Amino acid sequence: MNNNAMSINDTDIEVLIKNMLSPECISNPYPVYKQLRNHAPVNGLLDYPPGTVPGVDTPYPAWVVTRYEDVDYVLRNPEIFSSEDPMQANSSAPSLMLVNHDRPRHTALRNLAKMAFTPKRIHDNIVERLRLDVNKIVDRSLNNEIDFMVDVAGVIPALVMTYLMGLPPEDYKLLVRWANAFMVSSDFTPEERQSCNIELFHYFVAAVEKRYADIEAGIEVSDDLMTAFINAEYEGDTLSKEEVVLFCITLVVAGAETTTYFIGNLMGVLLEDADWFSKLKEDRSLIRPFMEECLRRDGPPQRLFRLVLQDCEISGQIIKAGDWIAFFMAAANHDESVFPEPEKFIIGRKNIAKHVTFGRGIHHCLGAPLARVEAEIMLNVVLDKCDGIKGSISNSKRQSGGLLAYGFSTLPVELVAKRT
Amino acid sequence: MQVIVTDRAGDVAEYSVEEFSDLFTQLGDEMKIDALCGGCCSCATCHIYTDASDAMYLSDCDESERDVLDGLLHVRDGSRLLCQLSLKEKMKTLKITIAQSE
């Protein structure tokens, strides 16, 4: 890494930071990250954490952290970089569980979440049911031009949320809309975004209230994640009713949109190079490394924020306690010093496990195994049922509403049915 | 040190490493473990089984490691997190088995 490399001057870098929220940068931020990696952190990004509403909430200027080493440092030092989000706390958005907590409450909440969010539950509640539903979704899409984002990628993660929390399956459309509004990466007016936040909150208040009432009345309730959150107990600690509501909301907003983009980005790679389809079809053991390289090169979550608790230094830049930083996992995943030829899609990279798309440290993504299961089922079903995919990446469009996620807003494809 | 690793598929491979952290990195790169949290005693994706007879050579399991192990479905005698492991006494060969995915 060359700390002294200055490809552009200070004025230019201010312009670069200012333009990070432009639709052009959001839809392809990697060239900008490349320039930013030549610099120590730069202050001044005015961006919006999840749940906040552009046009209503006022962003705090954030330091922009892009080098792998620096992003890793932030992720591994939660005692210096707090997950508390004052901007979100001052907005109309419901606050997120775990995501916005520090130790020691984070540890207590994580232990409670683990009691509910067990791998066995993920497996028993989801895998077979999802496989059946993905088969139906793909069946009805075969040999028609579809928008993969609307008809497949957008459906799977929200459906999974309805299974997990025992919600009516048809409500998946509501969840998609609310999650998209919350994540600040789709086109909504400020009023729509605010009303989505309110609707989302009230939906889960009502659902959780009903569940508590049913349990109290001795009515048999479904053995799902919502019930498990209500019953979770760890060393005498339990979740309050409000915390159960916020956990449900956290799962929806953290799991629905990001996984949708991940599933879409996998399809994008298949369109980019048609050889992948036949390679994966012939050798399914390539699916996992294929997914990991997609998570590295095209990982949807771009950046997170942290509040600095102690004066510190990042790549020689002094950062003061009280400052606000935006650190870009996606920029770290493209750091040439760690992943040579980062723009190339190369499966079997020796250090692929180092990608930081799911974070690292105590805030690593609890839903990572779930996202992988959803993506793997989608790929396997498409490979089982199809002879190929028609379409051109040039007809697709990346979302340009917010810098939080990298993914397609539209991805027209035709899934070509297998000849029988 | 030689470490004989049985992976989740039942395949056995031998690794020559200086520290367990090298093995942790290597198994992560080979996607034999997820190593999701990067080795900070949090995600339990590096859960392994060690033989009881080797316990005397291995670092003790501290409270934070015990807390994480307690939350697992497949925990048993000899369960450890590879990311937390170090040697108390020199040993030539250690056998470990990667626990099934949680």
Could you tell me if A35 and A8 are in contact, meaning their C-beta atoms sit under 8 angstroms apart? yes
Q: What is the 8-class DSSP label of residue A350?
A: T
Q: Which domain range does residue B87 map to?
A: 2-98
Using a CB–CB cut-off of 8 Å, the residues of B that contact A are 25, 28-29, 31, 34-38, 40, 42-43, 67, 71, 73, 101-102
Chain B residues with CB inside 8 Å of A362's CB? 37, 40, 42
Band of pLDDT at residue A1, cut at 50, 70 and 90:
very low
Cβ-Cβ contacts under 8 Å, A120 against chain B: 73
Domains and CATH numbers, chain A: 10-417 (1.10.630.10)
Phi, psi of B7 (to 5 degrees): -90, -175
pLDDT at B71 over 80: no
Q: Is there a cis peptide before residue A104, judged by omega within 30 degrees of 0? A: yes
Whole-number Å distance between alpha carbons of A344 and A337 = 14
Report pLDDT digits (tens) over A82-115. Answer: 999 888 888 877 888 888 888 888 888 887 787 6
Gap between the Cα atoms of A72 and B83, Å rounded = 17
- Give the Cα separation of A180 and A196 in Å (integer): 9
Q: How far apart are CA A133 and CA A144, in angstroms?
A: 18
The verdict on pTM exceeding 0.95 is: no
User: CA A85 to CA A325: how far, in whole Å?
Assistant: 11
Gap from A63 CA to chain B (nearest CA, Å) = 24
Q: How many residues are present in chain A? A: 420
Rounded to 5 degrees, φ, ψ at A289 are -60, -30
SS (H, E, C) A358-413: CCCHHHCCCCHHHHHHHHHHHHHHHHHHEEEEECCHHHCEECCCCCCECCEEECEE
Residue percentage of chain B with pLDDT more than 90: 69
Q: Is the pLDDT at A5 greater than 90, yes or no?
A: no
Identify all chain B residues contacting A357, using CB atoms and an 8 Å cutoff: none
Using one digit for the tens of pLDDT, what is the confidence trace for A227-255?
Answer: 989 998 877 888 999 999 999 999 888 88
Structure tokens at A156: 């799977």
pLDDT value of position A297: 98
Range B1-20 average pLDDT: 96
β-strand pairing of A412-417 with A145-147: antiparallel
* A364/B35 touch (CB, cutoff 8 Å), yes or no: no
pLDDT for res A387? 97
Query: A80, exposed or middle or buried, with CB in 10 Å at 0-12, 13-18, 19+?
Result: middle
| Cα distance between residue B1 and residue B17, in whole Å | 6
SS3 per-residue string spanning A170-199 = HHHHHHHHHHHHHCCCCCCCHHHHHHHHHH
Number of Cβ pairs < 8 A linking chain A and chain B: 53
Give the residue with greater pLDDT, A237 vs B10.
B10
Residue-by-residue DSSP string for A274-294: THHHHHHHH-GGGHHHHHHHH
List, in sequence order, every residue forming a beta bridge with A304; answer none if it has no partner. A327
Per-residue pLDDT at A220 = 94
Kindly report the number of other CB atoms within 10 A of residue A128's CB atom: 11
Least confident of A32-46, A103-117, A171-185, A388-402: A103-117
What mean pLDDT, rounded, does chain A reach? 91
End-to-end CA distance of chain B: 28
* Percent of chain A clearing pLDDT 70 (strictly above): 97
Q: How far apart are CA B36 and CA A356, in angstroms?
A: 9
Q: Which residues of A touch B28 (CB under 8 A)?
A: 353-354
pLDDT given for residue A8 in this prediction:
64
- Provide residues of A within 8 Å CB-CB of chain B: 72, 75-76, 107, 110-111, 114-115, 118-120, 288-289, 292, 350-354, 358, 360-362, 364-365, 368-369
Query: How is residue A366 written in tokens?
Result: 């609890």
Residue B40 and residue A118: Cβ atoms within 8 Å? Answer: no
What is the layout of strands, in order, in the sheet containing B2-6?
Answer: B12-16, B2-6, B93-98, B47-50, B79-81
The structure tokens listed for A192 are 């729509």
**Which residues in B lie closer than 8 A to residue A346 (C-beta atoms)?**
none
| A360 contact partners, CB below 8 Å, separation of at least 6 | A72, A75, A76, B36, B37, B38, B40
How near does any CA of chain A get to the CA of B85, in Å? 17
Distance CA B49, CA A405 (A): 38
Residue that has been written with the tokens 């066995």 in this structure = A120
Say which residue the tokens 């230094």 belong to: A313
Q: Output the domain CATH number for residue B61.
A: 3.10.20.30
Which residue from A411, A380, A416 is spatially nearest to A150, judged by alpha carbons? Answer: A411
Mean pLDDT for A319-324 is 98
Q: Taking residues A346-368, what's their average pLDDT?
A: 91
Burial per residue of B14-27, b for 16 or more beta-carbon CB atoms within 10 angstroms, e otherwise: ebeeeebeebbbbb
pLDDT for residue A2? 40
With bands split at pLDDT 50, 70 and 90, how would you rate the model's confidence at A279?
very high
C-alpha distance from A350 to closest chain B C-alpha (Å): 6
- Using a CB-CB cut-off of 8 Å, the residues of chain B touching A114 are 71
Q: Do the Cβ atoms of A368 and B36 come within 8 Å?
A: yes
Which has the minimum average pLDDT: A179-183, A314-318, B73-77?
A179-183
Beta strands A303-308 and A324-328, pairing class: antiparallel
DSSP designation for A262: H
Contact between A274 and A388 under an 8 Å Cβ cutoff? The reply is yes
Give burial (CB, 10 Å; 0-12/13-18/19+) of A390: middle
Q: How many domains does chain B have?
A: 1
**CB burial of residue A272 (10 Å; 0-12, 13-18, 19+):** middle
**Confidence tier at A201 by pLDDT (50, 70, 90):** very high
Average pLDDT of chain B to the nearest whole number: 92
CB A351 within 8 A of CB A339: yes
Pairing of strands A386-390, A397-398: unpaired
- 3-state SS class at A200: helix
**Residues of B in Cβ contact (< 8 Å) with A288:** 31
Q: What is the pLDDT of residue A390?
A: 97
**Nearest residue on chain B to A370, judged by CA atoms?**
B102
